[in-house]
């Protein structure tokens, strides 16, 4: 467990993420996904992250189905984080206006079947909406008791400072893994300096750091990775070589490459939580074990050496693929 920065929330260092059950990663078995969520809770995970845009209700409703009895019996024991402020596929895919955020909160409350949301995050920065409008809109929702804490996702340091000047940013959710480290000198540094809780997403590199991909791997048409350059050609080849070497190093620590990637993320200064998704109970069991992998300074230096030749990896955005 850890204190999530200035939010004061006490959360597990692993958060269960639900992007993979929103439809952007192809088909999935809902009952197996529900079993994975329940298994995570049984193993001590009290922090669950979802979003309005993950299937526009699909992921939130599945999370509610999985945790419904616990949410009714002991609501304060579970920390639910969701996100709003985007509307993919429209003329305005980023919309952090007061009206759309308020609409999003009402929809998320209905889909999750809860009276309040523990942490509400602006999913992506919206340059068309003044930070003052976004921050004040979220404070209104806090004052009304519909949300309890306010965070942002995918913000730069400059955007964090602009929001912070109006209303404190309590948490930041950045993309961060061994092959995606651009946030280190920007938003992550700002978060450390201002005690902003950091919950990192994509810590397994969207599957690259699981050791399960090969040069022959293919993805379903509905999976965004089927359109991403990082998952084909020379970029994929070079990164798979890095992953192979990481896997050998992980084995010397009696760990899998996934567990090593999670442990590395949690070992970084200022990172409080790693968000990990799963469609099956066994997968989340293995991921949670990554918390117990201890990395010395020498281990971290060796990981730096191994990953140096890697190709930086982007990800999905409201407009498409980075």
Catalytic residues: 54
What kind and span of H or E run contains 195? none
Residues 6+ apart with CB under 8 A from 252: none
Rounded distance between C-alpha atoms, residue 288 and residue 260, angstroms? 11
CB 171 within 8 A of CB 151: yes
Name the nearest CA neighbour of 175 among 140, 215, 135, 205: 205
- The number of C-alpha atoms within 13 Å of 184 and in the hemisphere containing its C-beta is 9
- Find all residues with CB under 8 Å of 60, minimum gap 6, and list them: 18, 50, 51, 52, 54, 82, 108, 111, 112
Across the chain, which distance is largest between two alpha carbons, in Å?
A: 53
Q: Please compute, for residue 296, the number of CA atoms within 13 A of its CA located in the half-sphere on the CB side.
A: 3
Q: Are 34 and 62 in contact (CB under 8 A)?
A: yes
Contact criterion met (CB below 8 Å) for 260 and 250:
yes
The residues pairing with 175 across neighbouring beta strands, listed in sequence order, are 201
The C-alpha atoms of residue 194 and residue 152 are separated, in whole angstroms, by 14
Paired strand residues for 47: 79
Say how far apart CA 245 and CA 84 lie, in whole Å. Answer: 38
- What are the two backbone dihedrals, phi and then psi, of residue 300, each rounded to the nearest 5 degrees? -65, -40
In angstroms, the CA 202 to CA 178 distance is: 10
């Amino acid at each position: 467990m850890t204190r999530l920065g200035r939010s004061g929330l006490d959360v597990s260092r692993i958060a269960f993420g639900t992007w993979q059950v929103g439809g952007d990663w192809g088909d999935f078995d809902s009952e197996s996904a529900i079993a994975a969520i329940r298994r995570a809770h049984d193993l001590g995970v009290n922090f669950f992250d979802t979003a309005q845009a993950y299937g526009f209700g699909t992921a939130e409703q599945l999370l509610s189905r999985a945790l419904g009895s616990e949410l009714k019996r002991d609501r304060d024991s579970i920390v639910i984080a969701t996100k709003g402020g985007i509307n993919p596929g429209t003329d305005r895919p980023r919309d952090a206006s007061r009206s759309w955020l308020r609409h999003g909160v009402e929809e998320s409350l209905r889909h999750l079947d809860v009276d309040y949301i523990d942490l509400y995050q602006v999913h992506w920065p919206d340059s068309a909406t003044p930070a003052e409008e976004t921050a004040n809109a979220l404070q209104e929702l806090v004052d009304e008791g519909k949300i309890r804490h306010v965070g942002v996702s995918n913000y730069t340091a400059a955007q964090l400072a602009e929001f912070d000047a109006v209303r404190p940013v309590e948490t930041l959710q950045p993309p961060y893994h061994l092959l995606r480290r651009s946030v280190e000198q920007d938003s992550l540094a700002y978060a450390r300096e201002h005690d902003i809780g950091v919950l990192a997403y994509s810590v397994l590199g969207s599957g690259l750091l699981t050791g399960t991909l090969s040069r022959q791997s293919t993805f379903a048409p509905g999976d965004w990775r089927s359109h991403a350059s990082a998952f084909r050609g020379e970029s994929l080849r070079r990164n798979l070589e890095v992953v192979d070497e990481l896997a050998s190093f992980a084995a010397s620590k009696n760990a899998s490459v996934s567990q090593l990637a999670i442990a590395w993320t949690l070992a970084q200064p200022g990172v409080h939580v790693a968000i990990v998704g799963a469609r099956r109970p066994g997968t989340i069991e293995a991921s949670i074990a990554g918390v117990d992998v201890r990395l010395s300074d020498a281990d971290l230096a060796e990981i730096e050496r191994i990953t140096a030749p890697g190709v930086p990896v982007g990800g999905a955005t409201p407009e498409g693929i980075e």
